[in-house]
Amino acid sequence: MYKILVLILMVLAVSWPGNVRAGDIHFYHDGLIQEADEYSFVTVNDTDPFHTTVDMYGGFVHGIIVNDSSTFNFFQGVVDSFILQDSSTANLYGGTINLHLQAELFPTVNIYGYNFEIMEAPAGHTLSGYWGDGSEFSMYLRGATYEQVILHVIPEPASFTFVGLALLLLRTRNPHKN
């Protein structure tokens, strides 16, 4: 009886969902990473003559490597390590990068947000600011990555309200005559 109980407990321990490890995925064509997806490593590669684009709308990835002239669009989710190589492009609109963002060779990193602040850090820089949805972010740019970063300032959400109110006031002060 004792041996059967131990065997059952071992089977449960091995098959318990908390012990499931995420796998790797390699994109050679357009792809999507979404909520509830979890990967150890993701690579994005072009297959001549095609250009590969991967969109991430949620989920978790331990490490991403974007190669060739591929594009990675990051909207939501969590990434630990994000590496861009060759002439690849990353468009960052949201999400969290826990450890670092690293650009090697000649990639382009487009970051969309507002109230950006960049500070020197050991062996790199720290970039912080707000994404377009108003959520705060901070990420470590490893090495000379900051030289590859293009910051795209989008109006903060409150700015749209002020512009709308100003237009409404102008319209009510100068009513159209019939």
Tens-place pLDDT, residues 117-145: 999 999 999 999 999 999 999 999 999 99
Q: Is the pLDDT of residue 148 over 90?
A: yes
Concatenated DSSP letters of the chain: -HHHHHHHHHHHHHH-GGGPPPEEEEESS-EEE-TT-EEEEEEE--BTTBPPEEEEEEEEEEEEEE-TT-EEEEEEEEEEEEEE-TT-EEEE-S-EEEEEEEE-SS-EEEEEEEEEEEEEETTEEEEEEEETTS-EEEEEEETTGGGGEEEEE---HHHHHHHHHHHHHHHHHSPPP-
pLDDT tens per residue across span 13-54: 444 444 344 799 999 999 999 999 999 999 999 988 889 999
Residue 178 reports pLDDT greater than 60: no
Res 171: pLDDT: 67
pTM for the complete prediction?
Answer: 0.78
- What are the sequence ranges of the domains in the chain? 22-173
Tens of pLDDT, residues 58-117? 999 999 999 999 999 999 999 999 999 999 999 999 999 999 999 998 999 999 999 999
- pLDDT computed for residue 19 by the predictor: 38
